[in-house]
Amino acid sequence: MKSISMKKIDNKYRKRRVKYKQEIIAYKMLAIPLILWGIFFVFALFRVIYLSFTDWNIFKAPSFVGLDNYIRIFTNDGALWKAFSNTFIWTVCTVIGHNLIGLGTAYMITCISKGEKFFRAALFWPILVSQVVGATMIEWIFDPSPYGFLNTIIGHFGLKSVAWLSDPDMALVSLMLYPLFLGFGIRMLIYLAGFKQIPKAFYEAAKIDGASNWTIFKKITIPLLKPIILLNIVYTTIESFKVIGPMQLVTNGGPIGSTMSVVLRIYQDGFVENKMGYASSIAVMFFIFILIVTIIQFRFEGETVTYE
């Protein structure tokens, strides 16, 4: 009797020890990744928040200035709001453009009988064009001189050159058009995968009921695709808010701030003008902004998905 209960206790103890040992092993395996993550994500995030309350350039030590930076952002920095509105315009256009073109081309590719793979590759490959190469292309396509690509084509028909990138009213559009036609490949692929997930039986049933292609697309495909559409919209939104490449590499924000973006402001204030404190407060504002947009979008998505 006694020995059995001893054994029981012993067993329990051993089990706990094994469990304990397992936990140690798990933490040992996680240690280095978690430390790296802690330094470059968590610590960095707290540091940028701290820096946003300081005045700091390379030449002197950071001095705490309280809310000064934020007050300046809200009251005395019209250029920053221009950057925010540019980024916002860029995001709205990209989200609509990429998703419409992506959805449209994906639908067309699923419909055609031959050349599916060819078109998938032909429309997707520009995703591989780096920001730097893309910027070189934009510079040339929208070059204001008569030697630029578009001006050459316009000139071919005997028309006058357009100022494109050097015109403050046209510059943002000029920067946007090329990425709009180049960057939709990922959206297209995800929509393609989405189309494949829809069971064929739905279409067949609708066909038997005599529904037209357009009705099928509107009443079956789109509702079933809704979660993927929303997911794509969320991704495109977050990605486009972070835009800096074309603005930095082609126009560097100009002419007269007409193509400034928020991230480019962070870069310029921090690394060009060495105002690390102020740049940090822009970064924090930007972070809060993105957070709010993401939360709104995910809430919106959650609602519609449960509604489905």
Partner 1 sequence: MSKGKNKIRNTIFYIILSIFAFVQLFPFYLRIVYSLQPKDFLPEIGKIYLLPEGFHFENYIEAWKMSNLGVGYKNSLIYVTIFTIVSAFIAILVGYVIAKKKFRGRKIIFIMLLSTLMVPAEVLLIPNYILIRDLNLLNKLAALIIPGLVNIVGIFLAKQFLETLPDSIIESAYIDGASEMKIFFKVVLPLSGPVIATYFIITYTQMWNDYLWPMIVTNKSEVFTVQLCMMGFQTNFQTGYDMILESAALITTLAPIVIVFLIFQKKFVEGISMTGIK
Site for partner 1 in 39-78 (CB under 8 A): 39-45, 47-48, 51
The DSSP symbol for 164 reads G
Q: Please name the helix (run of DSSP H) or strand (run of DSSP E) that holds residue 190, with its range, or none.
A: helix 185-197
Size (the chain), residues: 308
Q: Which of 110, 167, 226, 257 binds partner 1 (CB under 8 A)?
A: 110
Residue written as tokens 């993401």?
294
Q: Which of 99, 102, 100 is nearest to 123 (CA)?
A: 102
Within residues 78-107, the interface with partner 1 by CB under 8 A covers: 101, 104-105, 107
Quickly list H helices, 38-77.
44-51, 68-75
- Binding of residue 145 to partner 1 (CB under 8 A): yes
In this complex, which beta carbon is closest to partner 1, that of residue 162 or of residue 189?
A: 189
Q: Pick from 13, 27, 64, 300: which binds partner 1 (CB under 8 A)?
A: 27
Using CB under 8 A as the binding rule, whether residue 190 contacts partner 1 is answered as: yes
Q: Determine if 247 is a binding residue for partner 1 (CB under 8 A).
A: no
CA 215 to chain centre: 32
Query: One-letter amino acid identity for 244?
Result: I
Return the number of the residue (3 or 187) whose C-beta is nearest partner 1.
Answer: 187
The token duo for 56 is: 């700091």
| 245 near partner 1, judged by CB under 8 A | yes
213: contact with partner 1 by CB under 8 A? yes
Out of 57, 70, 88, 131, the residue judged to bind partner 1 by CB under 8 A: 131
- CB nearer to partner 1: pick between 1 and 24: 24
Pairing mode, strands 54-55 and 63-64: antiparallel
Nearest to 290 by CA among 20, 46, 67, 91: 91
Asked if 304 interacts with partner 1 (CB under 8 A), we say: no
Sole window of 5-13, 78-86, 91-99, 274-282 interacting with partner 1 (rule: CB under 8 A): 274-282
Q: Pick from 66, 78, 158, 210 the residue near partner 1 by CB under 8 A.
A: 158
> What is the rounded CA–CA span in Å between residue 83 and residue 281?
15
